[in-house]
Amino acid sequence: MENQESVAVVAGGTRGIGRACALALARRGDKVVIAARTQENLENIVRRIQEEGGRAHAIRADLSLPSDVMALFRDIDERFGGVRWLVNCAAALGPLKPLIGVDPEEWNQTMAINLTGTYLCCRYAAPGMIRRGGGSIVNVTSGLALRVLSPFGVYSVSKAGVNILTRYLAEELGPSGIRVNAISPGVVDTSMQEEIRTKDPLEIGEEVHRRFVNLKESGQLRPPDDVAQLVLFLTSAESNHLNGQIGRLSDYVAMGWQAPPEIPLH
- The string of DSSP codes covering 199-266 is S-HHHH-HHHHHHHHHHHHTT-PBPHHHHHHHHHHHTSGGGTT--S-EE-HHHHHHTT----TTS---
Residues 151 and 211 in one domain: no
Asked whether residue 59 is domain-assigned, the answer is: yes
On the question of pLDDT at 264 being above 80, the answer is yes
Span 85-94, average pLDDT: 96
Residues 248 and 213 in one domain: no
Asked whether residue 26 is domain-assigned, the answer is: yes
Per-residue model confidence (pLDDT) at position 65:
97
CATH number at residue 144: 3.40.50.720
Q: Give the residues across from 246 on adjacent strands.
A: 182
Residues 98 and 159 in one domain: yes
Residues 208 and 122 in one domain: no
Asked whether residue 240 is domain-assigned, the answer is: yes
Residue 149 and residue 96 in contact, taking contact as beta carbons nearer than 8 Å: no
On the question of pLDDT at 42 being above 70, the answer is yes
User: Could you give the residue numbers annotated as active site?
Assistant: 155
Residues 14 and 89 in one domain: yes
Asked whether residue 228 is domain-assigned, the answer is: yes
Residues 115 and 145 in one domain: yes
Per-residue model confidence (pLDDT) at position 1:
45
Per-residue model confidence (pLDDT) at position 83:
95
Residues 226, 144, 22, 263, Cα dihedral to 10°: 0
Residues 43 and 96 in one domain: yes
Angle formed at CA 123 by CA 83 and CA 60, multiple of 5 degrees: 65
Span 235-242, average pLDDT: 97
Asked whether residue 264 is domain-assigned, the answer is: no
Residues 177 and 214 in one domain: no
Residues 138 and 207 in one domain: no
Residue 204 and residue 93 in contact, taking contact as beta carbons nearer than 8 Å: no
Residues 130 and 249 in one domain: yes
CA dist 85 → 31, 95, 109 (Å): 10, 31, 26
Asked whether residue 58 is domain-assigned, the answer is: yes
Residue 138 and residue 183 in contact, taking contact as beta carbons nearer than 8 Å: yes
Span 198-224, average pLDDT: 93
- Sheet containing strand 85-88, strands side by side: 55-60, 31-36, 7-11, 85-88, 135-140, 178-183, 246-247
pLDDT digits (tens, 9 = 90+) for 127-160: 999 998 999 999 999 999 999 999 999 999 999 9
Span 210-234, average pLDDT: 95
pLDDT digits (tens, 9 = 90+) for 11-23: 999 999 999 999 9
- β-pairing, 55-60 vs 135-140, is unpaired
**Boundaries of domain holding 196:** 187-221
Asked whether residue 266 is domain-assigned, the answer is: no
Which of 184, 224, 196 has the alpha carbon at shortest distance from 92?
A: 196
Residues 82 and 202 in one domain: no
Give me the chain's average pLDDT, please: 95
Q: How many domains does the chain have?
A: 2
Residues 156 and 197 in one domain: no
Asked whether residue 1 is domain-assigned, the answer is: no
Span 240-249, average pLDDT: 98
